[in-house]
Structure 1
Amino acid sequence: MAETKGIFLTRHIGKTTYKVRVHLSETANETMEDKILRLIRNDGLAMDGECGIMELPQMSRQSERSA
C-alpha cells in the first residue's frame, strides 16, 4: 500500500472540530486560485439559481452609525 502524504488543517468552529487533509499534485495544471473559483462557479450552477437573498444584515452588534 502506498504511503499517502498530505497537509492537515484543523479548525474549531463552535463545538465541532474539523480536520482536513489536503493533497497537492506535483503535475497539476490548475492553480489553487483557479481551482477555488471553479468550485465556487460549479457550486452556484448546481444550486440552479435557488440562492437566498439576505434581507437583513447579519451583524451581532449595532453599527456605529445607528448610535
Structure 2
Amino acid sequence: GAYIDGVGLSDEQAGPVLAFLTSKGASTDETLSNLRAAVGNSAMGAEGVDELQQIADLLTAQGYGADRIVIDP
C-alpha cells in the first residue's frame, strides 16, 4: 500500500482532535459531556456544544427520542 504523510501534528495538537473524534457516548448526555471535555476552555467550542444541547432538548420536547435522533460527532 501507499504511504501518506500525516499533517505533522504534535501530540499536543492531536489530543483535542482525537478527543473530539472519540466523543460519541452511549447516550446524548454522555456525548455532550464528552464534547464539553473535548472543547475545554474554548468559548467557541462551548457555544457549539450549547447549541447541540438546545437542539437535543427541542427534539426531546417534540417527542423524538434516542431511537430517532443521535448526536454523532
Q: TM-score, normalised by structure 1?
A: 0.32
Structure with more of its chain in strand, by fraction: 1
Structure exhibiting the larger radius of gyration computed from Cα positions: 1
Q: Which has the higher contact order (CA 8 A, sep 6+)?
A: 2
Q: TM-score, normalised by structure 2?
A: 0.30
